Structure 1
Amino acid sequence: MKFGERIKKLRTQKGLTLDQLAQETASSKSYIWELENKNPPRPSAEKLSSIASALGVTVDYLIGADTQTLSDAEDTAFFRQYSGLPEETRRQIREMARILDTKPRK
């Protein structure tokens, strides 16, 4: 899948319009449209990072630089965000994960 196709697919899966993604990434609607539809796109590293963050994936996944699955990319992006949270918030998230874990305990 090409770079622009990935952006569009992720954007639509998250229910974001071009305007909404543009706003979240401090871009214009036309710039996001160009990234999705022009070949080859040439975004800056800063824009790539901003778009990947807004879409909840890694830059590597977005540009197709590795064989990471979407789920793995989302987990990596989540962990990076999680790592930057205050300790008390991380503790609460860990507790929620334990509560949501429905696997039988041995």
Structure 2
Amino acid sequence: MDVTKAALAALNTAFNTAFNARLTGVETTFGRIAMTVKSTTKNQAYPKLSEIGPMREWIGERFIERLDSNAFVISNRKFEKTVSVPVDDIADDQIGMYARRCKRLRRCR
């Protein structure tokens, strides 16, 4: 394969497509224990109600239980993964072995 600007652009598109295809078919488990909340700031505070006491029989006046709210803060972080492919593998048309590496991503999730 000739290592040209057009060939490298096509390879980049092919690698991105293969990588994203592996991500879309994977079932995640976070939805069973967490929720997705849109964050618009660097640090996001999430309120957490303290435990509510047990119910009581309603006799006479109502008793209003005041709830304490504690909060926990999560700082947003960015993640990335950049990989390189040796130019000799591109020139020797040996890029098929990298597609197999993308398949391993599915097992790691």
TM-score (norm 2): 0.24
Larger fraction in helix: 1
- Rg (Cα) greater in structure: 2
Larger fraction in strand: 2
